[in-house]
Amino acid sequence: MSDLEPKSRPVVRLRPKAEARAIRHGFPWVYADELVADRRTQALAPGVIATLEDAERRPMATVTVNPKSKIIARVLERDADAVIDRAWIAARIERALALRERLFEAPFYRLVHAEADGLPGVIIDRFGDVAVVQPNAAWAEAMIDDLCAALMEVTGVTTVVKNGSGRARGLEGLPEETVVMAGEITAPVPVPMNGAIYMADVMGGQKTGLFYDQRPNHAFAARLAGGARVLDVFSHVGGFALACLAGGAESALSVDASAAALELATKGAEAMGQGDRFATRKGDAFATLEALQAEGAQFDVVICDPPAFAPAKPALEAGLRAYERIARLAAPLVAPGGYIVLCSCSHAADLVQFRNASARGLGRGGRRAQLLHTGFAGPDHPMLPQLAESAYLKSLFFRLD
């Protein structure tokens, strides 16, 4: 009997006090302290497919198990008899693709957004004929060949990169590695978005090489940027800056600690024909904000889009202080009547906490603010309603007096 068949799979069971109702209502995770962690369960290979039972031994779902992770089980199907194979993966990708093709004219988007698209721990970003897969759960690492084959079959992409880096893989006990699974990559990939052109380094850049989640927030910032002097801090490959140039900004200055990212941003500006209105400044963001203030610099639009200062609860208080400090340092750089955009991609900091920290920072920076707009990730980053962690991005747009 194949180990893909339900009757041949191992069985894991919830503890009596575990919240089985949440699983039945769509919550996709089982934490280590909710599962009977006997010797047999602890001996399971990371990523194995199993049947989940409730405390009364009633089958509940088909799950993947990783005894090395605090999220010891992830729900793949609420059907306990589901077969998890290449065809199953392909069906999930087909469903995800149908949504993106309805939303976007060109094949540049997040194709799979993990649990929200029914592929737990799996991120797939598409760059035309190139796709980058992040298998951030052990089951996806174990089935990476099937995952890549299904991806190519469904979408027709010819090049697939496995990006095995990042904090999530460490939490799963997985090694870091970046590998070309199919095709070849010889140069950064040009990505058209919001009228701008970005250069995505899919082999050596941050995450998959580009952040698609900010697409609608880039567009909103561009609406504010006509004729404006723009400062984009934590710019990466030019995220907000290039969108603002496409929106008619007078000039844009990108600040980042990575020389490689700034070089890609410059290439993007040149590809847009905007190289003469674009400049970069390499350095620590906090130190650069202080230096710009000392120089008396002023901008009409200032954007700060830092990495996650509070990726998990233990970092929450320090992270909120960092967001407050960013707002305090950036506020004096905004010309009267100008705009400031403050962003957070921290899972642990909810919208209210982030908004309060930002408002405190603006006040400490001597500015009175109007909150104009609150932005979130684009629709190619859908949220699973039962999983608050899937709605991580917050972008606050203020006008300063």
Catalytic residue numbers? 345
Distance CA 255, CA 121 (A): 31
* Residue at 168: amino acid letter: A
Phi-psi region of 166 (alpha: psi -120 to 50; beta: other; left: phi over 0): left
Q: Secondary structure of 124-170 in the HEC alphabet? A: EEEECCEEEEEECCHHHHHCHHHHHHHHHHHHCCCEEEEEECCHHHH
- What is the widest separation between alpha-carbon atoms in the chain? 73
How many whole angstroms separate alpha carbon 372 and alpha carbon 237?
26
CA separation for the pair 84, 147 (Å, rounded): 11
How far is it, in rounded angstroms, from Cα 219 to Cα 87?
A: 37
> Does residue 242 sit in helix, strand or coil?
helix
Closest CA to 208 of 262, 274, 133: 133
